[in-house]
Amino acid sequence: MMSRFNEKGFEFCIDRGGTFTDVYAKCPDGSTVISKLLSCDPDNYDDAPREGIYRIINSYYNKSFDINENPRKKKLIDGSVIKSIRMGTTVATNALLERKGEPMALLVTKGFRDILYIGNQSRPSIFDLSVNIPDALYSAVIEVDERLLLASEKCCIKDWSNLPSAIGVTGETVIIEKTVDVADLRNQLIQLKSLGINSLAVALLHSYIYPDHEIVVEKVARELGFDYVTLSSKVMPMVKIVDRGFTSCADAYLTPAIHRYISDFASGFINGLESLPVLFIQSDGGLTPVNQFTGFKAILSGPAGGVVGYSRTTISDLGPNQAVIGFDMGGTSTDVSRYHNTLEHTYENVTAGVVIKAPQLDINTVAAGGGSRLFYRSGLFVVGPESAGAFPGPVCYRFGGHLTVTDANVVLNRVLSDYFPKVFGPTKDKSLDRAASIKSMEALTSEINRDLGTSMSVEEVALGFIKVANEAMSRPIRAITEGKGYSASSHVLTCFGGAGGQHACSIARSLGINKVFIHRYAGILSAYGMALADIVHEEQEPSAFVYCESNFKAIDDRFMHLIRKCEEFLLEQGFKRTQLQYELYLNMRYEKTDFPLMILSSASSNCLSTIAGDGKFCMVGNFGDTFNLRYQKEFGFKMDPKRKVVIDDIRVRGIGKSTDDDNLTKEEASKDNFNEAEETIQCYFEDVGYMATKVYRLEKLEPGQTIGGPAIIIEKSCTILVEPECMARITRQGNIVIDLQQKTSDELSMKNTSSIDSITLSIFSHRFMSIAEQMGRILQRTATSTNIKERLDFSCALFGPDGGLVSNAPHIPVHLGAMQEAVRFQLNHRDGDLKPGDVLLSNHPGAGGSHLPDLTVITPVFAENQKSSNPVFFVANRGHHSDIGGITPGSMPPHSVKLSEEGAVFMSFKIVENEVFQEEKLVEALQAPGKEPGNFGSRNLFDNISDLKAQIAANQRGILLVNEMIRQYGLEGVQKYMKYIQENAARCVRDMLISISSKLKTSNLEASEFMDDGTQIKLKIEIDPKIGNATFDFTGTGIEVYGNCNSPKAVTLSAIIYCLRSMIGYDIPLNQGCLEPIKVIIPQGSILWPSLEAAVVGGNVLTSQRVVDVILKAFQACAASQGCMNNITFGDETMGYYETVAGGAGAGPHWNGRSGVHTHMTNTRITDPEIMEKRYPIVLREFHLNPGSGGKGRYKGGDGIIRKILFRKQMILSVLTERRVFAPYGLHGGEPGSRGSNVMHFSSGRQVNLGSKSSIKVEPGDTFCLTTPGGGGYGSLD
């Protein structure tokens, strides 16, 4: 026992990151110690957090320790001298990213074995032909023979009335069609146990309502000795089986790894962790006892401490009601978040391809950090996303690493080796190697100068990469501010993390932010934040209540039940009731919408008393008004007040206040006591070159001291750059505030717009794309329909004054290029008849449309005080509307033969004129198809109008962003770089075509494919191998067809752009320049350029895929994917449903085709099975992969899908599909994928093949079986 033990003991806060472990400790005498050590250093210790504790305790008691002591010899720590340990760890995150968790199995309802593999069926990168998606977490799947159905008044299947039923936890009735087959389950679990699997995730359909079947499964598994059993109904009792399943899998996969780590950590203490308060910080920013720390709550454990840290410290120093942006720049990535009076949470996030449905801090991550690698590609400066990692790391680390952002800062003398730890090189005792960084940068500079014919210096190139990195890191900040309706310039930028201080001033200036805050512990703020965090316990339960007066008492009763559970837990942790606070939430949505909002009660409080209601609100707070205000702010409009508001979940967040702020306020020192700089060095800055720059140590600076830029402030764990025209001051709490002087628009305007600057070009590439991306976020956020808000069937883009595409956010590939044709048509058609306050609506295929449900909204952009009357830019978006009239519900008729049968037609309609929304004329046009016999007007006018308003709002956001850029850089400069960006895209395409011509040893390529009706699509490509131009000649393609597979010319252009961009293989600006080297020949009157009255609904969704198949076949890029979107619609006069279904992807030269995924020209999501069964009168009987349907080969094609839908009432079913006759081709000896099929199983027992395209009346009990095509194989098996 150490003799100087103080009963207060040590308090440790530890952030175990991927590269470094940071420790903040408060010692028994009240002093504080900070420490930073490598997270992995097996030569010196086996656990970094424990080593940090060991060193600090021994140092405090003046007990020496040998850093070279054998790490395998346990350094046991006396836990009796420790008051508490708080930790954050990336153990779970790393295990998820590296797929190194516990081997586990998924137990799921029979018929749904691949439900998580398929997920939402979309692919993360639309131009990645290999469809690289992270592996599933589970090693095996058990299908549990059980089934619950939802009781429904719409169900007309009489036999089900005799089945047993039960009332679920939400008050809804479930039909128990099949109880768990325990004998079968037991046998399968015994076999699973023999494989060495001991962790299970159980996710059964509708278990969030009725968990009894999952509880039965758990009981059997426990009896058989399984160590970990995670039930989805306990982990996250919310609707959506896919999200719930992913979350439970993550918990089963990660929790054992966390427990092993905790056990190993505990082994370094004399009595383990017995009687030692150990808390872990969770993804939501709250602390929890070590025995409650589980996998799915640990994903953001590390970054969470930083968010708590910056939010508390910034407000403590600068005052309340301050909007703050957190900027955490690390080695491989940068995390950004926002705080304004409360921590912002998200309730669904995707990490490493896994959906986590749980409260998490709203942190956006971009793959740009100090270790991001630097590249020069086809005239562009590129930063990341590849990272040099901790090893070998940057060049300056002396491990033979790669050129990175850190190296660029070293070259510019912004990171000083004399003030950096000497831990580099093979012997780990060397300083940073600036000479090596300069040498590598010189080599890259020579390459750039040769290519561009310039004479840039090494410093100019290094600074160029810094500027590009800063722009990349600014994009997510714009997304969480401007993308949500907040002005970035109204925030304080709080910087932390090892690399953030070097970039803070530049990023703040680019965002118009005037103030930067850097805490004195900025380098270890995630660890320090844990000292400020509260202990949190949450309780949640599903609900089906309608928010109305008659349910208020019942809702309040459920709140009180959950509050008492939170209170019980927190009292057990040693809190007094006076220390407890509660946040009360209802997850609310309008009936028949898919986008709930988690609403915080206005009466969240620190007591259990309720607020007496007066009949207008719940007794615990006014949720209704809060929901309406939040809905209008989020989505830009109000719903009909008569529309019911449904509560999906009731949630209580119990908080035990336990913070201990270490913000000691000191008096400001007099100028006589200010400390001088350590030295003056030469540091490089834009426009001025090297400048004399003073270097200070933060610990020597006094409160009140001001430091004019340029200067460098060295904090123990980070370097802070104060740029010219910035003023830093030390606050009374010892932190740094930097005030920036914003440059005027004249200063920011392009100095020379007549010549190209590759650095500025790279920055504009980010800015143009950011505009399209932010438009997309506004559209998704403000739309009403499932198609746009949930399935994401939309695209947004920016166009030049000639209508040429400038940037297109990568949303739906079939929209690429096609919108350019639409904008150019309107420009020519209107010919000067456009003015501010006008907005155009179009969908006609002859006006650049794709098919009629895709409504395109086009808005001209006029600059402020512009001299010309012509638009300087255009913004546009295209969204798929679920119904715009026509002969069948869903406006996707399989047998339409003329355009008017497919819905309302808009050639050039001013939906807004002189800033007035033309609602009356719009409604008239949407109802016009109903004037034809057998035809109908729109069946969903409310969604049409709401979504069109959202599309207009998205364009308006684009206009604001364009004008902001014009104010910043000047109209001439912006338009010049628009042109340069387009030229750069053309160069990338030319480089690719020259490379392919050389690789294939030919300049003449050709291919053909047939539609299911026998129509040929024929293509000949002639490449100029010297300059990279090419002709795409579709001469010989079949004539216009009588059905609806005719494809507008604009769709073929989209297919060409998609294929060219996909074959390039890396990010390039997506604009009209991609087509500039291409001459396209399409015979008029063919299926690819039909007459104006031709039906086209199938051309957009089917023929477009076949065009892609033909192009990729000609280039021998990969085997054919499923070549279809599998369009399924059903409905009646009261409802309608539309979906597209995934299939198999084609294999390629070095990859197997992905199974069960959307490919090529579409990337829409599919509705979750539980949502589908809850909202529509159907039962999804099966949804899984079709094994063996992918073509064989050296690389196997992806498998298609089997999807069976049982109908519970009479409806009309329509199918619009392809690849039912001609199979997806294999390539280079690979076998073709299997054809798809559409089979109707009538309740009478009769089976009928519906063919590729059909519309049929279905009766209760009938089942439709969709089998989607597989992808072709690549390469011979020999």
pLDDT (tens digit per residue) in 1010-1068: 999 999 999 999 999 999 999 999 999 999 999 999 999 989 999 999 999 999 977 77
Same structural domain, 1271 and 1124? yes
- Pairing of β 794-799 and β 736-740: unpaired
- Residues sharing a CB contact under 8 Å with residue 66, sequence separation 6 or more, in sequence order: none
| DSSP letters for 664-726 | ---PPPPGGGPPPPSEEEEEEETTTEEEEEEEEEGGGPPTT-EEESSEEEEETTEEEEE-TTE
Q: Is the pLDDT of residue 620 over 70?
A: no
Q: Provide the pLDDT confidence category of residue 746 given band limits of 50, 70 and 90.
A: very low
pLDDT given for residue 456 in this prediction: 93
- Tokens representing 1079 are 């001459």
Same structural domain, 79 and 119? no
Q: Provide the pLDDT confidence category of residue 1110 given band limits of 50, 70 and 90.
A: very high
pLDDT given for residue 1221 in this prediction: 97
pLDDT digits (tens, 9 = 90+) for 966-987: 988 888 888 888 888 888 889 9
Average pLDDT value for residue range 1081-1085: 97
Residue 939 lies in a domain: yes
pLDDT given for residue 1013 in this prediction: 96
Q: Is the pLDDT of residue 1004 over 80?
A: yes
**Percent of all residues in the chain with a pLDDT value above 70, rounded to a whole number:** 94
Return the number of other C-beta atoms located less than 10 Å from residue 553's C-beta.
Answer: 11
Same structural domain, 54 and 126? no
Sequence-ordered alpha helix ranges (H) in 345-489 = 405-411, 434-452, 458-480
Give whichever of 14-18, 788-792, 1149-1153 has the largest mean pLDDT.
Answer: 1149-1153
One-letter amino acid for residue 147 of the chain: R
pLDDT given for residue 73 in this prediction: 56
How far apart are alpha carbons 192 and 270 in whole angstroms?
A: 38
pLDDT given for residue 608 in this prediction: 45
Q: Which of 222, 216, 296 is nearest to 256 (CA)?
A: 296
Same structural domain, 255 and 277? no
| Domains held by the chain: number | 6
pLDDT given for residue 785 in this prediction: 81
| Whether the Cβ atoms of residue 794 and residue 779 lie closer than 8 Å to each other | yes
Q: Provide the pLDDT confidence category of residue 990 given band limits of 50, 70 and 90.
A: very high
Residue 339 lies in a domain: no
Q: Whole-number mean pLDDT of the chain?
A: 89
- Pairing of β 839-842 and β 909-913: antiparallel
- Residues sharing a CB contact under 8 Å with residue 544, sequence separation 6 or more, in sequence order: 170, 171, 172, 646, 647
Q: Provide the pLDDT confidence category of residue 911 given band limits of 50, 70 and 90.
A: very high
How far apart are alpha carbons 551 and 57 in whole angstroms?
A: 57
How far apart are alpha carbons 1157 and 1145 in whole angstroms?
A: 7
* Domain end call among 607, 626, 656: 656
- Residues sharing a CB contact under 8 Å with residue 287, sequence separation 6 or more, in sequence order: 86, 279, 280, 281, 530, 533, 534, 535, 536, 658
Residue 614 lies in a domain: yes
| Whether the Cβ atoms of residue 939 and residue 920 lie closer than 8 Å to each other | no
Same structural domain, 45 and 167? no
How far apart are alpha carbons 868 and 783 in whole angstroms?
A: 34
Q: Which of 1145, 1249, 1261, 1247 is nearest to 1195 (CA)?
A: 1145
pLDDT given for residue 661 in this prediction: 57
Same structural domain, 611 and 566? yes
pLDDT digits (tens, 9 = 90+) for 659-678: 555 556 666 655 666 778 89
pLDDT digits (tens, 9 = 90+) for 795-821: 999 999 999 999 888 778 888 777 889
pLDDT given for residue 874 in this prediction: 95
| DSSP letters for 814-882 | GGTTHHHHHHHHHHHHHTT---TT-EEEE--GGGT-SSTTEEEEEEEE--TT-SSSS-SEEEEEEEE-S
**Least confident window among 89-93, 142-146, 1107-1111:** 89-93
**Least confident window among 379-388, 406-415, 527-536, 648-657:** 379-388
Residue 551 lies in a domain: yes
Measured on CA atoms in the order 804, 809, 814, 815, is the torsion positive or negative?
negative
| Whether the Cβ atoms of residue 1141 and residue 1126 lie closer than 8 Å to each other | yes
Q: Is the pLDDT of residue 156 over 90?
A: no
* Domain end call among 986, 1001, 1016: 986
| DSSP letters for 132-178 | --PPPS-SEEEEE--EEEE--TT---GGGGGS-EEE-TTS-EEEEEE
- Residues sharing a CB contact under 8 Å with residue 432, sequence separation 6 or more, in sequence order: 396, 397, 398, 410, 415, 417, 420, 424
Per the structure, the complete domain to which residue 50 belongs is given by 10-89+268-297
Return the number of other C-beta atoms located less than 10 Å from residue 212's C-beta.
Answer: 18
**Ramachandran angles phi, psi of 1020, nearest 5°:** -120, 135
Same structural domain, 123 and 179? yes
Residue 676 lies in a domain: no
Q: Which helix (H) or strand (E) holds 728?
A: strand 726-730
Residue 1135 lies in a domain: yes
Residue 1111 lies in a domain: no
Average pLDDT value for residue range 330-349: 85
One-letter amino acid for residue 494 of the chain: T
pLDDT given for residue 754 in this prediction: 47
Q: Provide the pLDDT confidence category of residue 645 given band limits of 50, 70 and 90.
A: very high
**Least confident window among 785-789, 960-964, 1099-1103:** 785-789
Q: Is the pLDDT of residue 1157 over 90?
A: yes
Same structural domain, 627 and 543? yes
Same structural domain, 245 and 279? no
| Whether the Cβ atoms of residue 541 and residue 235 lie closer than 8 Å to each other | no
How far apart are alpha carbons 19 and 48 in whole angstroms?
A: 11
Q: Which of 517, 876, 472 is nearest to 729 (CA)?
A: 517
Q: Is the pLDDT of residue 616 over 50?
A: no
Q: In 3-state terms, what secondary structure has residue 890?
A: coil
How far apart are alpha carbons 412 and 460 in whole angstroms?
A: 9
Please give the span between the terminal C-alpha atoms of the chain, in angstroms, as a whole number. 72
- Residues sharing a CB contact under 8 Å with residue 999, sequence separation 6 or more, in sequence order: none
pLDDT given for residue 745 in this prediction: 47
In 1046-1081, which positions are buried (b, 16+ CB within 10 angstroms) versus exposed (e)?
A: bbbbbbbbbbbbbbbbbbbeebbbbbbbbbbbbeee
Q: What is the CATH number of the domain that holds 624?
A: 3.30.1490
How far apart are alpha carbons 1274 and 1278 in whole angstroms?
A: 12
- Residues sharing a CB contact under 8 Å with residue 148, sequence separation 6 or more, in sequence order: 174, 175, 176, 177, 204, 205, 206, 207, 209, 210, 213
Q: Is the pLDDT of residue 747 over 60?
A: no
Query: Who has greater pLDDT, 443 or 915?
Result: 443
How far apart are alpha carbons 799 and 816 in whole angstroms?
A: 12
**Ramachandran angles phi, psi of 799, nearest 5°:** -130, 150
| Whether the Cβ atoms of residue 1155 and residue 1141 lie closer than 8 Å to each other | no
pLDDT digits (tens, 9 = 90+) for 519-556: 999 888 999 999 999 999 999 999 999 999 899 989 98
**Percent of all residues in the chain with a pLDDT value above 90, rounded to a whole number:** 60
- Pairing of β 104-109 and β 199-203: parallel
How far apart are alpha carbons 976 and 802 in whole angstroms?
A: 13
Q: In 3-state terms, what secondary structure has residue 211?
A: coil
Q: Is the pLDDT of residue 619 over 80?
A: no
- Residues sharing a CB contact under 8 Å with residue 1120, sequence separation 6 or more, in sequence order: 1009, 1109, 1112, 1113, 1146, 1224, 1225, 1226, 1227, 1232, 1233, 1271, 1272
Residue 683 lies in a domain: no
Angle between helix 971-1000 and 758-782 (nearest 10): 100
How far apart are alpha carbons 324 and 275 in whole angstroms?
A: 39
Same structural domain, 899 and 947? yes
Q: Is the pLDDT of residue 613 over 70?
A: no
Helices and strands (H, E) in the chain, number of each type = 26, 55
| Whether the Cβ atoms of residue 1224 and residue 1272 lie closer than 8 Å to each other | yes
pLDDT given for residue 605 in this prediction: 53
Sequence-ordered alpha helix ranges (H) in 413-534 = 434-452, 458-480, 504-510, 525-532
Q: Is the pLDDT of residue 1136 over 50?
A: yes
pLDDT digits (tens, 9 = 90+) for 824-873: 999 999 988 889 999 999 999 999 998 999 999 999 999 877 767 889 99
Q: What is the CATH number of the domain that holds 72?
A: 3.30.420
* Domain end call among 241, 263, 285: 263
Q: Provide the pLDDT confidence category of residue 1076 given band limits of 50, 70 and 90.
A: very high
Same structural domain, 588 and 637? yes
Same structural domain, 159 and 225? yes
| Whether the Cβ atoms of residue 1198 and residue 1157 lie closer than 8 Å to each other | yes
Using left for φ > 0, alpha for ψ between -120 and 50, and beta otherwise, residue 773 falls in alpha
